[in-house]
Amino acid sequence: MIRYLNLPKIPVEILDSLNYNFDQYSFKATYLNGAYKWSDDFSQQVDTWCKQNICDTMHWGFQFMNNDIIAHKDVGTEVKLTYLIDTGGSNVRTNFFEDDKTTITHSFVIPTHQWHILYASRYHSVEGIESGHTRFSLTGRVFPLPIE
């Protein structure tokens, strides 16, 4: 599930300085047939700010979703802290499921520029990403899990 947090917003000048040309990133992780990608390229300024203002022991990087994401559990992460920069569409929903991956227990339309904790080790999906759009967010793992 998701819990919204009242943490300081990332300054506009840092958000404006981010690289929004996603073709220039090298992706360190790619899942779900390329619909989800992760990179820490071009993150030095925002990583420094987050370490000073949010949590100094977390490594910060970017998530990119260019298509809907089926029900899944994140690899190697129990809980992640996320700051949504671009929703990827006008009505993108993050859904949480029972273990059957079909019964929705909670559904959220997460606003931009809102810190939230996401329970990533529960089945969840992202639906409604519009064609030609990218859901772009900053994220850090709060509680990493060992990769089996």
Residue recorded with tokens 């089945």: 123
Structure tokens at 97: 């499921």
**For the whole model, what pTM was predicted?**
0.90
Q: Residues 121, 123, 124, CA angle at the centre, nearest 5°? A: 105
Residue 142: per-residue pLDDT: 81
- Give the pLDDT confidence score for residue 69 in this predicted structure: 95
H runs (alpha helix) in 1-148: 12-17, 44-53
What is the DSSP secondary structure assignment for residue 129, as one 8-state letter? P
pLDDT tier, 112 (very low <50, low <70, confident <90, very high otherwise): very high
pLDDT at 148 over 80: no
Percent of the chain with pLDDT over 90: 81
